[in-house]
Amino acid sequence: MVLFGSMSTVAISTVVAVSILIAFGTGRQPFAAAWAFLKSLVVSRKYLLFFIAVTAIMFLNKNELRLENWLKVPYDLTPVLSGWEGAWPAWLQSNLQSDALTAVCGIFYLVIFQSVLISSVAIYTHHKNMKLYYAFCVAVLMNYFLAVPFYLFVPVNEVWFVHPQIHFLLLDVFPSFEREYRSLSGLNNCFPSLHTSISVTLALLASKSGIRRWAVFAWISASVIIFSIFYLGIHWFTDMVAGLLLALLSTTVGLKVGAWAENTSRDKLALRGKAKLKTSRPVGS
């Protein structure tokens, strides 16, 4: 069942999904959240700097494969870190495989994962929850910053590449994946699983948002994505465990920095308010 003929199809599907998720998380039409985001970029220097930092680390991750090709690490750590797990994903595929399940897992892996990531920024900005916005930026920053060195120096190959009896089911929904998407996701960039760490990070942050429906969806998304990395034949169990640990660390640090960033902003506003009050008092009062 082919769902995505090209990266353009993935991109269009992502735009649609982001629009729906923003409306779902804000209760408003998505343009209101988009306007709040653009306004915040212009009005708040701190908001802009945090956003630039996240964009920069994602750009680094996008170009990680170029660094990898330049370094040319000669060893393969798959047998040491994950190869001992055996071919249990083959049992998973043989017992559960269906066109419908493959389609759902493919959609969540390719579209919903990045849609929740993008929508989180808009939703927290719309609700003026700057603590979670700053926490989101720092947590995502840490996820990529800590994962990239592993991808460079701890090469672990994807499960389907190691075990011939395990199929790379993502090709069933996106046949041109290797040609169009592989440059964003290296074949030996398994440990840790960023799909696990980012999706769980987003779910943990959503749990702090006070938006129950958004938190529930974020956890459903994270659960489906974790199942998908196994079912589709991509990740090892150890990749997932490392991803969970990375998510917990990144979220903890992100929330602490987010609280600090929000408090400093409040302190500045309070000082400005006091300064205006003093200058507005009549002479001799």
Distance CA 221, CA 77 (A): 30
> What is the tens place of the pLDDT at every residue in 215-269?
999 999 999 999 999 999 999 999 999 999 999 999 999 999 999 988 876 545 4
Nearest to 213 by CA among 227, 18, 13, 221: 221
Average pLDDT value for the chain: 90
Burial of 274 per CB tally in 10 Å (0-12, 13-18, 19+):
exposed
Nearest to 214 by CA among 119, 135, 139, 130: 119
Distance CA 111, CA 117 (A): 10
| Joined tokens for residue 27 | 């209760």
Provide the terminal-to-terminal Cα distance of the chain, rounded to the nearest Å: 78
| Joined tokens for residue 154 | 């701890």
Contact partners, residue 143, CB within 8 Å, separation at least 6: 194, 197, 198, 201, 246, 247, 250
Distance CA 202, CA 219 (A): 8
Contact partners, residue 125, CB within 8 Å, separation at least 6: 33, 36, 37, 40, 47, 133
pLDDT for 270 beyond 70: no
Distance CA 139, CA 142 (A): 5
- Least-confidence region, from 15-29, 36-50, 70-84, 98-112: 70-84
Distance CA 120, CA 222 (A): 14
> What is the tens place of the pLDDT at every residue in 151-170?
999 999 999 999 989 999 99
Distance CA 22, CA 125 (A): 11
Residue 250 lies in a domain: yes
From residue 149, how far is each of 59, 109, 154, 254 by CA, in Å? Answer: 15, 23, 8, 20
From residue 102, how far is each of 1, 163, 274 by CA, in Å? Answer: 8, 19, 60
Task: Report the pLDDT value the prediction gives residue 147, as an integer from 0 to 100.
Answer: 93
> What is the tens place of the pLDDT at every residue in 127-139?
999 999 999 999 9
Residue 157 lies in a domain: yes
Residue 103 lies in a domain: no
Distance CA 222, CA 194 (A): 11
Residue 78 lies in a domain: yes
Burial of 103 per CB tally in 10 Å (0-12, 13-18, 19+):
middle
> What is the tens place of the pLDDT at every residue in 174-207?
999 998 888 778 889 999 999 999 999 999 999 9
Task: Report the pLDDT value the prediction gives residue 272, as an integer from 0 to 100.
Answer: 53
Helix axes 30-43, 7-26, angle to 10 degrees: 90
- Least-confidence region, from 52-66, 99-113, 132-146, 147-161: 52-66
Task: Report the pLDDT value the prediction gives residue 280, as an integer from 0 to 100.
Answer: 54
- Asked if 67 contacts 186 with a C-beta cutoff of 8 angstroms, the reply is no
Residue 172 lies in a domain: no
Residue 263 lies in a domain: yes
The residues with which 189 forms a beta bridge, in sequence order, are 156
Contact partners, residue 14, CB within 8 Å, separation at least 6: 111, 114, 115, 118
Domain housing 80: 15-90+115-167+183-272
C-beta pairs of 3-12 under 8 Å, 24+ apart in sequence: 3/103, 3/106, 3/107, 3/173, 3/174, 4/106, 4/110, 4/173, 4/174, 5/175, 5/176, 6/176, 6/180, 7/180, 7/181, 10/110, 10/111, 10/174, 10/181
Looking at the structure of the chain, the number of domains it has is 1
Residue 285 lies in a domain: no
